[in-house]
């Protein structure tokens, strides 16, 4: 996996969401780099890791990053949040704190989990990728921007970034959708050793804020922050997200 390291201070790992790459964190990176040593990850098949022939697997990604990088706070957006939770499960000694942005331990509705999206959503996207790759990704980006106070500018940013490092590999996009469709990490939460911060977008169309509030309540040391945003609150509210991350770090240091 391609990892860019910049800045100085405590270590902070940033992991992007489906179909994206670490460049999407640019607004947040500018806010955080003066305070942290950032490790910006491009997951297999994405961004500068797009030539990797590795399949996208939560456990493999989490273990590889835990071995390759120092003990750190892990920050994940959407799918990236599930990589962070998997790292906390498999290598708790390497995870000092967690920041989950617009992410949930389970993305899809179930009999005992009403706080997700329809079960067939990600399967529809997988079918769409095979028939009309670019249009399907465009639909997903639009869904991410809906609900934000800055929807148009956020959609422009998402569109500008999505292929800025080349097109993500089709096989890992399908892998990622499969993870979003099937992963259920709720059982991980009660055993978390690291404190966690769950940052939700109030009008997120993919991750209901109630799902993240539930996750915070079921995580030892969990806390919850809700912003007036859609699925990418770190774009329109980068300063507020960075402030919350810094507050978490100060508490850890104290």
Residue of higher predicted confidence among 91 and 119: 91
Query: CB within 8 A of 107, min separation 6: which ones?
Result: 116, 117, 122, 180, 181, 183, 206, 207
pLDDT per position as a tens digit, 160-198: 888 888 889 889 999 999 999 999 999 999 999 999 999
pLDDT over 90 (residue 54)? no
The predicted model gives 88-97 an average pLDDT of 97
Q: Return the pLDDT at 146.
A: 79
pLDDT over 90 (residue 158)? no
Q: How far apart are CA 54 and CA 48, in angstroms?
A: 13
Element (H, E) at 97: strand 95-101
Q: Return the pLDDT at 233.
A: 93
Q: What are the residue numbers of the active site? A: 78, 204, 231
pLDDT over 90 (residue 254)? no
Tracing tokens 């609150």 back to the chain, one arrives at 233
Tracing tokens 């009999």 back to the chain, one arrives at 111
pLDDT per position as a tens digit, 74-83: 999 999 999 9
pLDDT per position as a tens digit, 208-230: 999 999 999 999 999 999 999 99
Contact between residue 74 and residue 15 where contact means Cβ atoms under 8 Å apart:
yes
Q: Return the pLDDT at 43.
A: 96
* pTM of full prediction above 0.75: yes
**% the chain with pLDDT above 90:** 73
Residue 138's Cα: distance from chain center in Å?
A: 19
């Amino acid at each position: 996996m391609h990892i860019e390291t910049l800045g100085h201070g405590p270590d902070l790992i940033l992991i992007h969401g489906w179909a994206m790459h670490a460049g999407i964190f640019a607004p947040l990176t500018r806010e955080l780099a003066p305070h942290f040593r950032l490790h910006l990850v491009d997951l297999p098949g994405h961004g500068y890791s797009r030539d990797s022939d590795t399949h996208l697997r939560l456990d493999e990604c989490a273990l590889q990053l835990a071995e390759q990088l120092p003990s750190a706070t892990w920050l994940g957006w959407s799918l990236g949040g599930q990589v962070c939770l998997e790292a906390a499960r498999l290598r708790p000694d390497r995870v000092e704190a967690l920041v989950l942005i617009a992410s949930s331990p389970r993305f899809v509705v179930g009999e005992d989990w009403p706080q997700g999206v329809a079960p067939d959503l990600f399967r529809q996207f997988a079918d769409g990728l095979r028939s009309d790759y670019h249009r399907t990704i465009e639909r997903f980006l639009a869904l991410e921007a809906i609900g934000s106070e800055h929807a148009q500018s956020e959609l422009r940013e998402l569109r500008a970034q999505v292929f800025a490092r080349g097109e993500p590999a089709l096989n890992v996009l399908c892998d990622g959708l499969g993870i979003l469709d099937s992963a259920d990490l709720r059982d991980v939460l009660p055993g978390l050793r690291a404190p966690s911060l769950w940052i939700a977008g109030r009008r997120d169309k993919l991750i209901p804020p109630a799902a993240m509030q539930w996750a915070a309540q079921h995580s030892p040391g969990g806390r919850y922050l809700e912003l007036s945003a859609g699925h990418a609150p770190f774009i329109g509210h980068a300063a507020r997200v960075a402030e919350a991350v810094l507050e978490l770090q100060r508490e850890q240091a104290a």
